[in-house]
Structure 1
Amino acid sequence: MTKSNTKIHKILLVRMSAMGDIVMATPLLKAIKRRYPQAEISWAVQPEFADVIRGHELLDELIIIPKGQWTKDFKALHWVRLWKEIRRLKKQLRAAEFDLAIDLQSLAKSGILVKWSQAKRKIGLNSREGSQKWMDEVVDGSVVTGELISSEYQAMAEYLGCSIDSFQMRLPANLDTPSWKEITTELGSDYLVFCPFTTRPQKHWFDENWQALAALLPANKKIAILGGPGDTVAAESLMKNMPGNVVNLVGKTRIQEAIAVIRHSNGVIGVDTGLTHMGIAENKPTLALFGSTLPYSNTRSAKAKVLYHQLDCSPCRRNPTCEGRFDCMRALSPEWVLQEWQVLNQGVNVEVRL
């Protein structure tokens, strides 16, 4: 291990994906900057997720890792182009002369970047897939209770000797989104955000439940639905029985535009997806509906709450045993969600139709 009094001038963080994981890793930026105030911090990320942290005031550099293009080149047998691009990146990482490189993703694809950097000190977080052999040290992220949001990143911060006071997620203060007002013109200044879509069906709430919840909320309050380009077909199906005050923005916003929509909203209700975590990061009233996954139960915020119905089989993560019924999510009735939303907004004038 490098001595604690060794000067740290340049730091590399590697968390290439996905959107929610990057959001939950952002507390490390403030913690590290407090610990090493003169250090420059770089972050290696895939291009499709770069806007989550692009322009962050505590970040000095984004290093874009075109993993998708590399995969295409590999499949198309474009060996020379792939080799040149990898060689270029290796030179870029080595030329930076990082004093400290941290693999926050724990996988071979992220660990190899730390190895290529030839940083003076290389640390992995829960390293696996063989990436641990490239690290000087490996941190056990489970030493901090997993009930806390960003718990594994807090474990890394503590290992580095960083202060963990106000260990809060933080998105870029200045967003490159001059068009967000145009996108949300019909929303006005008083609206909620629904985030119904995520990567696996067992993490979804049911269309009829979202529709019932929207019908219970005030008709004069707009509801914006957010999601990515891959969610557009599902969104069209969801919209078929939605009240007229619901606005479909799915696939119509870039990441920083979506952050802006959340930032200017009155709150977020969503499933286990990066957009929901953004609601917490933006200190908005946020109700997170979890079932097959339980990434955290303590949001570190009085404005945010996890709604979760514990079953013997949950959280099943990627291996549901309920034959597609998704009982844990079915147990979260629209009425229960509505009740919890009211409690979360106590002290705020929230009219509800029953």
Structure 2
Amino acid sequence: MPLKILIIRFSSIGDIVLTTPVVRCLKQQLQAEVHFLTKKPFRSILDANPYVDKVYAIKSKIGEISQELKREQYDWVIDLHHNLRSFQVKRLLRVANRSFDKINLQKWLMVRFKWNVLPRAHIVHRYLDTVKKLGVQYDGQGLDYFIPEAQELPLRNLATDQNLSPELRNALQQGQYIALVIGAAHATKRLPVNKLIEICQGIKLPILLLGGPDDRPAAEQIARATGTHVVNTCGQYSLHQSASLVRQAQQVITHDTGLMHIAAALRKPIVSVWGNTIPEFGMTPFYPDGMDENTTVEVKNLSCRPCSKIGFDACPKGHFNCMEQIDPEKIFLAIEPFIPIKIS
């Protein structure tokens, strides 16, 4: 009889996408019955994953589904969140379990004292360490992201819905555009609007601005200041639809955020822009073995960076040098080979 395994990761988009190699390897190598516990806003990411047999989702408390979880009679719990809620699940179920190492001490030392004792291991490999005892090994196939067919966004629809020039409409219909992800959960992970305007003005190639409803005011400001080659889609589409636009783009420029990891799962060339967080935390774009399509853009050797392992609503120092000093030329050099069509 196959093992029945519960994986726990409550949030957020990128972190859940980064767990997908664990899900796939458990299913393919052990033929296990794999269940996943998360929060309701992220359920759709997992519902589309064919390696997940059942998804449980909570609004806020484990008690919402405690009886259902107990009835499942799991053999193992794989805790990829390692917080109070996941501890409550393990205490409730009282079965064999493994938790991943969050390296909080090493991150704190890096943030507080700039002592770099961080492991040279991607978070994906630290997630996979939790299932080694079960005989599971990484298969080298990278991340997974599955877009339901009904959520695929044909480019002809996008080009028709927008008030575009014929030249730009034709470029979009052919997928000859850059996806520029302007959002991120924390302000210190996001380029300021003036910097995004500078980047868009310098590119002069078809650009789709991607983000959520909260990003729309900034996107409108960017689009007004940069010209007709920039199309604002922020807040118009679901996560899966935005992922569809990422999948059809020729290249993606993004902050350290969920769509960055989705872009890596879809094997897209990425320019990742880093502010207060650093790649050394182990959450860079993760590709299959032998593939690296990421160009990292960051301001090195700032004495204040990293200032947090996650982010802030504003720069604690007030200057925001980690983003204000980003050199747009590094981004221009990374994208120029990809799109031959320039929009005047």
TM-score, structure 1 as length reference? 0.78
Does residue 1:249 correspond to 2:241, yes or no? Answer: no
Say which of 92, 97, 109 aligns to 2:85. 109
Does residue 1:31 correspond to 2:25, yes or no? Answer: yes
Q: CA contact under 8 A between 2:182 and 2:209: conserved in structure 1?
A: yes
Say which of 298, 319, 325 aligns to 2:319. 325
Say which of 50, 62, 77 aligns to 2:55. 62
Output the CA distance in 2 between the equivalents of 1:107 and 1:128.
13
Does residue 1:123 correspond to 2:98, yes or no? Answer: yes
Specify which structure has the bigger relative contact order, considering alpha-carbon pairs within 8 angstroms and separated by 6 or more residues: 2
Output the CA distance in 2 between the equivalents of 1:264 and 1:33.
28
Does residue 1:18 correspond to 2:2, yes or no? Answer: no
Q: Which residue of 2 aligns with 1:177?
A: 151
- Give secondary structure in 1 for the equivalent of 2:225: coil
Between the two proteins, what is the percent identity of the paired residues? 22
Instruction: Name which of structure 1's ranges 319-328 and 46-55 shifts more when overlaid on structure 2.
Output: 319-328
Output the CA distance in 2 between the equivalents of 1:149 and 1:285.
20
Output the CA distance in 1 between the equivalents of 2:83 and 2:248.
36
TM-aligned CA distance change 1:349 to 1:204, over 3 Å: closer
Output the CA distance in 2 between the equivalents of 1:26 and 1:237.
36
Number of residue equivalences:
310
Output the CA distance in 1 between the equivalents of 2:118 and 2:137.
16
Aligned-partner residue type, residue 94 of structure 1: K
Q: CA deviation at 1:21?
A: 0.8
Instruction: Name which of structure 1's ranges 165-174 and 191-200 shifts more when overlaid on structure 2.
Output: 165-174
Output the CA distance in 2 between the equivalents of 1:8 and 1:100.
12
Unpaired runs of 5+ residues, structure 1, are 1-6, 71-85, 130-141
Does residue 1:314 correspond to 2:305, yes or no? Answer: yes
Q: CA deviation at 1:298?
A: 6.7
TM-aligned CA distance change 1:119 to 1:98, over 3 Å: farther
Output the CA distance in 2 between the equivalents of 1:97 and 1:46.
21
Output the CA distance in 1 between the equivalents of 2:178 and 2:254.
11
RMSD: 2.9
TM-aligned CA distance change 1:183 to 1:92, over 3 Å: farther
Q: CA deviation at 1:98?
A: 0.9
Unpaired runs of 5+ residues, structure 2, are 105-116, 163-171
- Give secondary structure in 2 for the equivalent of 1:241: helix
Q: CA contact under 8 A between 1:31 and 1:162: conserved in structure 2?
A: yes
Q: CA deviation at 1:198?
A: 0.9
Say which of 287, 300, 306 aligns to 2:271. 287
Output the CA distance in 2 between the equivalents of 1:227 and 1:340.
22
Say which of 75, 78, 83 aligns to 1:99. 75
Q: CA deviation at 1:312?
A: 2.2
- Give secondary structure in 1 for the equivalent of 2:36: strand
Output the CA distance in 2 between the equivalents of 1:29 and 1:277.
16
Output the CA distance in 2 between the equivalents of 1:112 and 1:180.
43
Instruction: Name which of structure 1's ranges 188-197 and 302-311 shifts more when overlaid on structure 2.
Output: 302-311
TM-score, structure 2 as length reference? 0.80
